[in-house]
Amino acid sequence: MKEKVLDVSNLDQDALKSLDKHIDSLKGSNEKETLIPVLYKAQELFGYLPHNLQRHIAMKMDLPSAHVNGVVTFYSFFSEHPTGTYTVSVCMGTACYVKGAKDVLERVKKLTGASEESMSDDGLFSIKDVRCIGACGLAPVMTINDEVYGKLKPDDVDDIIARYKEDNQ
Amino acid sequence: MKIDSRKALKFYKDKINANNQYTLTLYVCAGTSCVSSKSVEIADRLKAEIDKKGLSVEMNVVKTGCFGFCGQGPIIEIEPDKVTYVQVTVDDVEDIVKTHLMNREIVERLTYDMTDEGDYEMAFYKKQKRIALRHCGAIDPESLEDAIAHGGYEALAYALYDLTPDEVIGIIKDSGLRGRGGGGFPTGLKWQFTKAVEDEEKYVICNADEGDPGAFMDRSICEGDPHAIIEAMAINGYATGAKNGLIYIRAEYTLATKRLLKALKDARDAGFLGNNVFGTDFSFDIELKAGAGAFVCGEETALIHSMEGLRGEPTVKPPFPSESGFRGKPSNVNNVETYANIPIILVKGAEWFNKIGTEKSKGTKVFALAGNVRNIGLVEVPMGTTFREIIYDIGGGIPDDIPFKGVQIGGPSGGVITEEYLDTPIDYDSLKEVGAMMGSGGMIIMDEKTDMVEIAKFYLDFTQDESCGKCTPCRIGTKRLHEMLEKLTNMEGSPEDLELLEELALNVQNTSLCGLGQSAPNPVLSTLRFFRNEYEAYANREKPHGYRVIEEECIGCTKCKRVCPVDAISGEVKKPHSIDQSICIECGACIEACPKGAIVYE
């Protein structure tokens, strides 16, 4: 059983090496405090934090794996599930909410088939509802990767999503 | 270069100012909101055009922090002409260069005039008093030189050379400054507590984990004036005897993080951080710690645990962080906006600061004005300014002149204020009296069409999601409150539910461990207080509001019936029509089609 859960052969081995190197570079006093930065690095390298990777990090940092999992699931920034090529983040801050962000989010879900829990079947889209990206002047706002779309109406979403789909055909 | 004395700072400042002899300066907002609308491209284009036209000797383009007028971004301000251009696009650059820079005429179509009186120094700024935001929109946040030219690090020099730590604390105490993160605890007193504990190792911590979904002043300050925070933290370190500073910043704030890192490096290179600050025997440095997305980390004990690599759960106080904080050492936690006030208080004096504001709340407060209001953005006003002044004079009122319904202040921890309280002077204590709280300063304006039960549900959805789960009242209580609101809005409730809702809300408020749980029921309790009729309508399984035909006015022209997209309107020709509330989707098409004004929304 132990071997099975610690099997990391399905992960990108180069990324794993560079993660190990990163963890080693942080060794020293107060190294347990570096868990969150390590998880950042891991998510940057792998895109998400699957369970076997979490256990690998726990071993490497000499922490209980329950502790690592506790931290991963506590913070909304970390994801245990793979994400699509495009992450659509619909701002659910108050300013966007009162200007109709809920309708925008519903439309994105309908058009992509993705939800907050799972990415779309074609692997193109995943959805995140974020709390205030601070562009309240542009409410309601969504971002697709680093591109910002503001003052949206649900109908605007159709064109935007269609463009991303076309780009990938 | 190292600046190791006061004289060196003055020499350096004079030198920078001697070189800054431009006849015109174009300030282009490079805050997150404007950057999202391509302001950086606009600034680069302007610079290129100015170079091309050979004007670069007399004209300068500065990419600044947030001007606050986010709803009309991207913003360009041209000084000393006092002209502000709004909603500028890359295509407007040519016109600005040709008309304004070369022919020295104003590009009228890009100005924003709320009063129609040809007043280009906008009404938006008139009632504001920018202290914490003093450099946002006025300096290049990525330039240490620009910070020094505007008086940066003079307060630190003053503290180190002329004042004892106790004198610094005395000034902050006399100023009456209170914590801007929400609680309103006197800042000087907090510093005094941290100083009083004897320990070799102490920490000063800047809380930049702005979690209120609708407030962004801390981010704007980090983006627009990072050196002010660094300077204030160094002063805080000197006053309390701490050598280490930490900034805990939200992961989503990438631009703010980038600018803070640059500012930290520049400050270190100049000798404002590190060993022997300013050539004295005081040593101090600052490290940046990124959060990972958890609202509860705005609570100081939770924030400290998060920096220690743990789940960001709060712990019971006492012990307060001033006795046992980060790594168990005495720690002083202040919020970004609080820090932004420190340097200017030292330079201008406690007397100057405590003349601004009300009896118990001194200085100014920054509010993030958003929702159904014309001018969306950041506004900084003296404490004691009324809601009416902010919403109508600065905010320009509600678009389309739809009647005002309420204003939510203090985010998920705050409450709703109604029309009758619009003339309340805003300070920490007056807000508590009316069942709201200052919070971090989110101010969401809601018009008549807003469903207050839905708003309460929105906030509870947020708090139950963000509850850390450590204490039962908050973990279970917020979830149950949310479920009860869901039941009401799904038309499955009953009048008894309202009593249960109120009882549970009070229990969660009284028994939760930290501020998150204690304040989570506020949106429910305050909407229950002011809009009980809407809750009652839901409890009786009726829609609390909707479109209605005034029978006496209706002439039976059938226009509304024809435009209704869901066939919710019935009635015969020349007879009064009626709207079926269970079908109506509230699109408003009927109200526009009616020639007699016989349809109302209530």
Task: Specify whether A121 is located in the same domain as A152.
Answer: yes
A63 plus A92 within the same structural domain: no
Closest by CA position to A78, among listed B255, B299, B464, B312: B312
CB contact under 8 A, A136 and B462: no
The CATH number of the domain holding residue A158 is 3.40.30.10
A143 vs chain B: nearest CA distance in angstroms?
10
pLDDT at A1: 43
Does residue A21 sit in the same domain as residue A67? yes
Residue A38 lies in a domain: yes
Domain B364-447, CATH number (from 1.10.260.40, 3.30.530.20, 3.10.20.600, 3.60.10.10): 3.10.20.600
Q: Is residue A128 over pLDDT 60?
A: yes
Q: Residue A136: its chain B contacts at CB < 8 A?
A: 33, 70-71, 214, 216, 368, 370, 376-377
- Identify the H or E element spanning B333: strand B331-335
Residue A3 reports pLDDT greater than 60: no
One domain, residues A98 and A162: yes
Residues A70 and A118 in one domain: no
Q: Which fold has domain B452-539?
A: de novo design (two linked rop proteins) (1.20.1440)
The predicted pLDDT at position B437 comes to 87
Residues of chain B with CATH 3.40.50.11540: 151-353
CATH label, B151-353, candidates 3.90.870.10, 3.40.50.1220, 3.40.50.11540, 3.40.630.10: 3.40.50.11540
Residue A95 forms contact with B (CB below 8 Å)? yes
Nearest to B439 by CA among B468, B470, B416, B466: B416
Could you tell me if A6 and A40 lie in one domain? yes
* Domain-located, residue A134: yes
Q: Is A40's CB within 8 Å of B252's CB?
A: no
pLDDT at B114: 56
- HEC states along chain A? CHHHHHCCCCCCHHHHHHHHHHHHHCCCCCHHHHHHHHHHHHHHHHCCCCHHHHHHHHHHHCCCHHHHHHHHHHCCCCCCCCCCCEEEEEECCHHHHHCCHHHHHHHHHHHHCCCCCCCCCCCCEEEEEECCCCCHHHCCCEEECCEEECCCCHHHHHHHHHHHHHHCC
Long-range CB pairs of B280-285 (<8 Å, 24+ gap) are: B280/B160, B280/B161, B282/B160, B282/B237, B282/B238, B283/B243, B284/B233, B284/B234, B284/B237, B284/B238, B284/B242, B284/B243, B284/B244, B284/B245, B285/B243, B285/B244, B285/B245
For the domain with range B19-126, which CATH number is right: 3.40.30.10, 3.40.50.11750, 3.30.70.980, 1.10.3720.10? 3.40.30.10
Domain with CATH 3.40.30.10 in chain B: 19-126
pLDDT of residue B91: 95
Same domain, A70 and A95: no
Query: Dmax of chain B from CA atoms?
Result: 91
- Domain B547-601, CATH class in plain words: alpha beta
- Residue B118: how many CB atoms within 10 A of its CB? 9
d(CA B541, CA B488): 8
Residue A70 located in a structural domain? yes
Task: Report the percent of chain B where pLDDT is more than 90.
Answer: 72
Tell me how many domains chain A contains.
2
CB contact under 8 A, B212 and A75: no
Q: How far is B562 from chain A (nearest CA, A)?
A: 23
Domain finish residue from A74, A109, A129: A74
Q: Are residues A61 and A134 in the same domain?
A: no
A61 interfaces chain B, CB cutoff of 8 Å: no
- Are A58 and A105 found together in one domain? no
User: Which of chain A's residues have a Cβ under 8 Å away from the Cβ of B522?
Assistant: none
Are A70 and A100 found together in one domain? no
Task: Identify the segments of chain B with pLDDT beneath 70.
Answer: 113-122
Searching chain A, which residue's CA lies closest to the CA of residue B455? Answer: A98
Choose the closest CB to B309 out of A32, A95, A135: A32
In one-letter notation, the amino acid at residue B410 is G
- What's the pLDDT score for residue B120? 45
- Domain of residue A107: give its range: 86-167
- Residue in chain A closest to B410 (alpha carbons) equals A94
Q: A91 and A127 share a domain?
A: yes
Residues A96, A163 share a domain:
yes
Let me know if residue A68 belongs to a domain. Answer: yes
**pTM for this entry:** 0.90
Question: Which of A29, A45, A74 finishes a domain?
Answer: A74
Q: Choose one of A28, A46, A74: the last residue of a domain.
A: A74
